[in-house]
Structure 1
């Protein structure tokens, strides 16, 4: 008889439970999680490469901010992720269209990250990147540890959504009515806290609630959490200097 939580030596399959109430085959869930994190790793690698190119080739950033055509391209880069994420939610099961949409989504966000970094000092970028890495790894490990002990973080969803709406309004006010350095620091700190919460929430969703055909949506959600956390920390560190 096969027992959950032990290793099946005959088949060589790990059957470790992710959380106490799991009723499915743990091997299938672990396979799904590995698939999501593999896609996420490719997304993050692509983001680092594209952002590095934008930062290194100064002509790209200057073109986008100093000419009418460049401004139009910049607006297109900003709008594209919002359009594509809607399409992803409709066609996340349509292969290879879902992969193509995820690629466009990643490239557009990577270009936006590169443009942000192009006007930020290298020291601040490095500090924000290290902080992001530490926070993401720590919160991910914590969420897996907590889930295995029966804790559930689905209750965070409504609170995080409400906090995100407040953050968006705050950011909108900042664009048209700048409130100064202190308010920018507050904005960056609040954003970092909110997206840290989203990392816990979306990791918990990945472990317990995402179905096997939602790997694209799970990857996109975690990718957005990580990128937004990095940009929040970048804003926070930039406002301190």
Structure 2
């Protein structure tokens, strides 16, 4: 049975509405963290702040479990999605807190241009019958490589060049994920999976921004 195009477009509009709210929330929370200096100094200069920072990094992964269980239960799913977004936003703010405004602006502009360009390209390609599902295994493997690379960096720092390589690799990988998840949004997500579709695209955009921020910060230093 063929799907009515109007239903799919309504679903896509719903996802991008939720995604827009998530991104605006991220900008708002991150701006508070960056502008209110005592917040960032608390996390950077105290043991309690360091412990809370680690907890905030882990918390989004914890929230994915109830999100998976309640993703069809309104409004619990949206409440959990909001908490997930706030925790990620706080981490983004802390990443930006000790970065120059020039580098943050450059990363934000580049992210916006890349996301818009890749989204338009994916819709154009999908309309002409192109399929990007084959990217899944390659992108997953690349993320695994990045995780191992980041662990190596923690224990054996490799210097500025390696940080730039890591940021550049991350930007390429998450650009690929934007294409892959947008293609899934157009063709594969069911109507009750709007929370997962929003989470996927939101994480793609945030990780692209953080990768570009890492690359530009290392280059600027």
Aligned to 2:57: 78
- Cα shift readout 1:111-138 (whole Å, capped 9, x = no counterpart): 0000010010000000000000000000
Q: How does 1:73-152 map to 2 (within 5 A)?
A: 73-152=52-131
Aligned to 2:12: 33
Moved more, 86-95 or 44-53: 86-95
Q: How does 1:172-183 map to 2 (within 5 A)?
A: 172-183=151-162
Q: How does 1:3-18 map to 2 (within 5 A)?
A: none
TM-score, normalised via structure 2 length = 0.98
Secondary structure, counterpart of 1:150 in structure 2: coil
Q: How does 1:222-241 map to 2 (within 5 A)?
A: 222-241=201-220
Q: Displacement, 1:27?
A: 0.3
Q: Displacement, 1:41?
A: 0.1
Are positions 1:163 and 2:166 aligned together? Answer: no
Q: Which runs of 5+ in 1 are unaligned?
A: 1-21
TM-score, normalised via structure 1 length = 0.90
Equivalenced residues, count: 220
Aligned to 1:189: 168
Task: Find the aligned partners of 1:232 and 1:205 in 2 and give their Cα distance.
Answer: 23
Q: How does 1:51-70 map to 2 (within 5 A)?
A: 51-70=30-49
Moved over 2 A (4+): none
Secondary structure, counterpart of 1:179 in structure 2: coil
Task: Find the aligned partners of 1:33 and 1:235 in 2 and give their Cα distance.
Answer: 31
Larger-gyration structure (1/2):
1
- Cα shift readout 1:38-77 (whole Å, capped 9, x = no counterpart): 0000000000000000000000000112112212221121
Task: Find the aligned partners of 2:64 and 2:204 in 1 and give their Cα distance.
Answer: 14
Higher relative contact order (CA 8 A, sep 6+): 2
Q: Displacement, 1:96?
A: 1.3
Secondary structure, counterpart of 1:87 in structure 2: helix
Secondary structure, counterpart of 1:94 in structure 2: coil
Aligned to 1:15: none
Aligned to 1:7: none
Task: Find the aligned partners of 1:198 and 1:220 in 2 and give their Cα distance.
Answer: 12
Moved more, 111-120 or 22-31: 22-31
Higher helix share: 2
Task: Find the aligned partners of 2:207 and 2:154 in 1 and give their Cα distance.
Answer: 18
Aligned to 2:193: 214
Task: Find the aligned partners of 2:44 and 2:35 in 1 and give their Cα distance.
Answer: 16
Task: Find the aligned partners of 1:215 and 1:43 in 2 and give their Cα distance.
Answer: 13
